[in-house]
């Protein structure tokens, strides 16, 4: 059974085609990234998956059911981009209320509230009102709310936007910790973060699903991404291009080079690179197999 199936899915708002003929099949498992420029249709796709809006054409199914179907109660949850906690109620009251709406008894709801707050590392905030929480803590509590009842699918729209690095890391670790129990679909503009967290990446642009990339598959690719600390960029490019197995070298941004090469023996190119740095007294910062997500999405190579 597929987790998400979209067949020829389109959504029109007046004259605006926000989603255009999206076909998609996703299985449960590692977190899935949804990326694309502003206005690409990411929130529209999330809203269709949640059943907040209906398609103009085509169909969407989650676990074989239409979004919003009673059969999906407790199996799917979402954290919208602009989700807000109720300012008038203490955290425990609102989380327990959501648990009871899912069918938990009052006593089980209290336990579930403690469980999800512990998952996001904030058990102490249960008796507090949202006004006493920082932005990052509020976001984590909202994620706790999305985890009530251990849903099979959780949609997170921009979960780390505006968060400090420590809170963003806490959310990444939380998501990683739930793999195997819950599949997350995460919409974000932070490609470096998605690269660390997700296996599959869906790229929407102008309502069209352009690419679906697996980050794991790419590790076998014949690319190395080299980030230098100090070097002569022109001399480095020339030296790399002179290596027999190197097919092309591209400077993707300052001091970052994407090397496309032919694999001969394991680590043969890496060995040559280190010898070259040693001879030239160049310092490298990182050498990564494959290409960065940014390069894969935005380069023509």
Ligand X SMILES: Nc1ncnc2c1ncn2[C@@H]1O[C@H](COP(=O)(O)OP(=O)(O)OP(=O)(O)O)[C@@H](O)[C@H]1O
Provide the edge-to-edge strand list for the sheet that holds 32-35: 76-79, 153-157, 183-187, 32-35, 200-205, 208-214
Contact between 39 and ligand X per CB under 6 A? yes
What three-state secondary structure class fits 23? strand
Do the beta carbons of residue 194 and residue 34 sit within 8 Å?
no
Segment lying near ligand X (by CB under 6 A), choices 1-9, 31-39, 195-203, 231-239: 31-39
d(C-alpha 233, C-alpha 88), whole Å: 58
Segment lying near ligand X (by CB under 6 A), choices 33-41, 72-80, 111-119, 142-150: 33-41
Minimum gap (Å) between residue 38 Cβ and ligand X: 3
Segment lying near ligand X (by CB under 6 A), choices 25-33, 35-43, 60-68, 232-240: 35-43
Do the beta carbons of residue 296 and residue 213 sit within 8 Å?
yes
Do the beta carbons of residue 18 and residue 44 sit within 8 Å?
yes
What is the biggest distance separating any 2 CA atoms in the chain, rounded to whole angstroms? Answer: 71
d(C-alpha 162, C-alpha 173), whole Å: 17
Contact between 10 and ligand X per CB under 6 A? no
Which of positions 129-148 make contact with ligand X (CB under 6 A)? none
Minimum gap (Å) between residue 84 Cβ and ligand X: 17
d(C-alpha 237, C-alpha 221), whole Å: 20
Contact between 188 and ligand X per CB under 6 A? no
From the number of C-beta atoms within 10 Å of its C-beta (0-12, 13-18, 19+), residue 187 rates as buried
Segment lying near ligand X (by CB under 6 A), choices 41-49, 224-232, 270-278, 285-293: 41-49
Contact between 16 and ligand X per CB under 6 A? yes
Residue 226 CA: distances (Å) to CA of 151, 198, 233, 264 = 40, 22, 12, 19
Judged by CB under 6 A, which of 41, 67, 136, 149 binds ligand X?
41
CA angle centred on 34, ends 291 and 3, rounded to 5°: 115
Contact between 18 and ligand X per CB under 6 A? yes
Across-strand partners of 65?
A: 62
Please give the size of the binding site for ligand X, defined by CB under 6 A: 11
Please enumerate in sequence order all residues whose Cβ is within 8 A of that of 246, keeping only pairs 6 or more positions apart, or say none: 240, 259, 260, 261, 269
Contact between 228 and ligand X per CB under 6 A? no
| CB-nearer residue toward ligand X: 40 or 147 | 40
Minimum gap (Å) between residue 156 Cβ and ligand X: 13
Contact between 176 and ligand X per CB under 6 A? no
Judged by CB under 6 A, which of 38, 254, 278, 300 binds ligand X?
38
| CB-nearer residue toward ligand X: 115 or 206 | 206
Segment lying near ligand X (by CB under 6 A), choices 1-9, 38-46, 133-141, 194-202: 38-46
Which of positions 42-101 make contact with ligand X (CB under 6 A)? 42-44
Minimum gap (Å) between residue 201 Cβ and ligand X: 15
Residues near ligand X (CB under 6 A) are 13, 16, 18, 36, 38-44
């Amino acid at each position: 059974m597929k987790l998400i199936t979209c067949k020829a899915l389109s959504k029109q708002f007046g004259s605006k085609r926000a989603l255009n003929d999206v076909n998609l099949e996703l299985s449960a498992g590692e977190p899935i990234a949804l990326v694309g420029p502003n206005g690409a249709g990411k929130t529209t796709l999330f809203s269709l998956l949640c059943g907040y809006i209906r398609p103009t054409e085509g169909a969407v199914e989650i676990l074989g059911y239409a979004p919003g179907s009673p059969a999906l109660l407790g199996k799917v949850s979402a954290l919208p981009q602009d989700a807000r906690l109720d300012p008038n109620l203490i955290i425990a009251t609102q989380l327990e209320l959501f648990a009871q709406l899912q069918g938990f008894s009052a006593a089980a709801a209290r336990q579930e509230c403690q469980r999800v707050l512990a998952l996001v590392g904030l058990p102490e905030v249960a008796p507090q009102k949202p006004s006493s929480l920082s932005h990052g803590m509020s976001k984590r509590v909202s994620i706790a709310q999305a985890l009530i009842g251990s849903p099979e699918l959780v949609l997170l729209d921009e979960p780390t936007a505006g968060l400090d690095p420590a809170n963003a890391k806490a959310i990444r670790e939380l998501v990683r910790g739930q793999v195997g129990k819950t599949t997350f679909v995460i919409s974000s503009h932070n490609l470096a973060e998605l690269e660390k967290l997700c296996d599959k990446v869906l790229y929407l642009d102008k309502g069209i699903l352009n690419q679906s990339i697996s980050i794991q598959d790419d590790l076998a690719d014949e690319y190395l991404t080299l980030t230098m600390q100090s070097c002569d960029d022109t001399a480095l490019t020339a030296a790399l291009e002179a290596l027999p197995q190197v097919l092309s070298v591209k400077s993707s941004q300052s001091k970052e080079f994407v090397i496309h090469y032919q694999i001969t023996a394991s680590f043969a190119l890496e060995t040559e690179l280190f010898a070259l740095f040693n001879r030239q007294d160049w310092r490298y910062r990182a050498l990564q197999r494959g290409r960065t997500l940014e390069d894969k999405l935005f380069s023509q190579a």
